[in-house]
Chain A
């Protein structure tokens, strides 16, 4: 158990719908990262927040957005869902920066199925 929690574990929805995925980082970690893992693809970085502020953006679609709240939990909002958005979505957290280590601790993931 990494200490990172994600809810829900599974989500089944229809095309065109909107869903929210939730992540709570490890105690003391300020950074939260979101990743998407689709079939036959590696982990694709979506977005990073650090202490409430957006820090870096990766391959995140405009239909997707995220935020990190004052209690440091984060939500990833996916809207106008398409079949291709079906994937495993991971959240990870890391402690305040120490050199180049930046080990990330992953949550159990949310499996999203769009029908």
Chain B
């Protein structure tokens, strides 16, 4: 019921390619959707928190959209660079004021120079 699904599991692109991946989550009782970037040997780093249907957030070449009615979010990376190589996690915040995050397993992105 609370599963967060991410696809694809992994992605290999060439430097300069643009790419996108998907996060699916239960659309009922939606509160917020988080995106994190997790580089190897580092800790997950917050990218975006999205709360409203139709939200679009952008940070540099990375952007995200949110559809709460159908329960999905897309993360886009424009002109991928090798330093974008990381695992991108999404997490569904549930449970109201005392809720917590349910994480997907992530999409592992590798960008070849």
Contacts and interface: CB of A to CB of B under 8 A. Distances in A.
14 contacts: A42-B104, A42-B106, A45-B103, A56-B95, A56-B100, A97-B97, A100-B49, A100-B93, A102-B99, A103-B49, A104-B46, A105-B46, A106-B36, A106-B44
Given A42-B104, A102-B49, 6 more contacts: A4-B43, A41-B105, A45-B102, A100-B51, A106-B44, A108-B43
B105 to A, nearest CB: 4
Contacts of B98: 55-56
A-B residue pairs, 4 tightest by C-beta: A106-B43, A42-B105, A43-B103, A100-B32
Interface string A88-115: 0010000001011111111111000000
Interface residues of A, number: 27
A33 B11 CA distance: 30
Contacts of B51: 99-101
Interface string B69-92: 000000000000000000001010
A29 B105 CA distance: 26
Interface of A: 2, 4, 33, 35, 40-45, 48, 55-56, 58, 90, 97, 99-109
Interface string B15-50: 000000000000000011010100000111110010
Interface of B: 4, 31-32, 34, 36, 42-46, 49, 51, 89, 91, 93, 95, 97-106
Contact of B49 (A45, A90, A101, A106): A101
A9 to B, nearest CB: 11
A76 to B, nearest CB: 16
Contacts of A48: 100
B28 to A, nearest CB: 15
Q: Which of A2, A41, A102, A108 has the most CB of B within 10 A?
A: A102
Contacts of A2: 43, 45
Contact of B42 (A40, A45, A103, A108): A108
A106 B91 CA distance: 14
Given A42-B104, A55-B98, A97-B97, A107 B49 contact: no
